[in-house]
Amino acid sequence: MRFGIVSDIHSNWQALQAVLADMPEVDEVICLGDVVGYGADPNRCVDLVREKGWPTLVGNHDRACTDVDILEWFNEDAARAIEWTVARLGADRLRWLSELPECDQIGDEIVLVHGSPRDHIYEYILDAATAEANLSLVEGQVCFHGHTHVPGIFRRESGQLLHEYQVGTFKLTGTELVNPGSVGQPRDGIPDASYAIWDRSAGTFEFRRVAYDREGAKRAIRSAKLPDRFAERLDSGR
């Protein structure tokens, strides 16, 4: 079975459309959370994910839409984007967001979360100490996660922690933290939308990038009068 793995769409309709057009045929698509926040198209993005029936986890921005206490942790611009989003989503989409699960599994071998195995929604796996602590929680398993918007694989090899990334296919070997990157707001310095294909039977994970209509996404953010830096950072990929 082949799975499309997407995360951190962040209301970027143009990026989501490009990923869908680029994605080879798969049996199922899994979404690791943060469908909304930052971008200007929350409704179209939520509706597409729901219509496709993609199993979806809750991200911190999704949760902030339905829990005001969480919003207090957000910086001013991100909080403004959430308030703008909530004002547009409507009760039915908000209910869908509020019911998204925090974690899931595929068989015994794959753990699915937005943040990390230790802290399902909020922890960023960016540094070696955080990666090590979380690898110890998934011995023998692979964790697919998002949240950092930085694609890559954390794994150990001969006692060394490795963080690997390149567009292309990696063999999964077990005890790994694997991030497909962000569809709608990449932060690894490459502005193209990021996602992946997991081939369960072959045990491979393919990182893919696709250019999208960034001008359209930026225009939408600006005409919605969302904070301008959310438009600017689409070009820098930071």
- Contact positions vs Zn ion (CB under 5 A): 8, 34
Cβ closest to Zn ion, residue 8 vs residue 41: 8
Q: Kindly tell me which of 64 and 172 has the beta carbon lying closer to Zn ion.
A: 64
Nearer to Zn ion, 172 or 184 (CB): 184
Give min distance, CB of 209 to Zn ion, in A: 17
Place of tokens 């081939």: 199
- Cα distance between residue 142 and residue 155, in whole Å: 10
Q: Is 199 helix (H, G, I), strand (E, B) or coil?
A: strand
What is the DSSP track for 27-94?
A: SEEEE-S--SSSSS-HHHHHHHHHHHT--B---HHHHHTT-HHHHTTS-HHHHHHHHHHHHHHHHHHH
Q: Is 25 exposed, middle or buried (0-12, 13-18, 19+ CB in 10 A)?
A: exposed
Nearer to Zn ion, 34 or 188 (CB): 34
Token digits of residue 101: 């699960």
Q: What's the min distance (Å) between Cβ of 230 and Zn ion?
A: 12
What ranges in the chain are assigned the alpha helix state H?
13-22, 42-52, 60-64, 68-71, 76-98, 128-135, 214-223, 228-236
Gyration radius from the chain CA atoms: 17
Query: Minimum distance between the CB of residue 204 and Zn ion, rounded to whole angstroms?
Result: 25
C-beta of 109 vs 119, nearer to Zn ion: 119
Shortest gap between Cβ of 184 and Zn ion (angstroms)?
Answer: 8
Q: Which is nearer to Zn ion, 17 or 185 (CB)?
A: 185
Q: How many C-alpha atoms does 130 have within 13 Å on its Cβ side?
A: 14
State the nearest-atom distance from the C-beta of 215 to Zn ion, in Å: 22
Q: Minimum Å distance from CB 125 to Zn ion?
A: 13
Tally of CA atoms within 13 A in the half-sphere of 59 that contains its CB: 28
Residue nearest to Zn ion (CB): 34
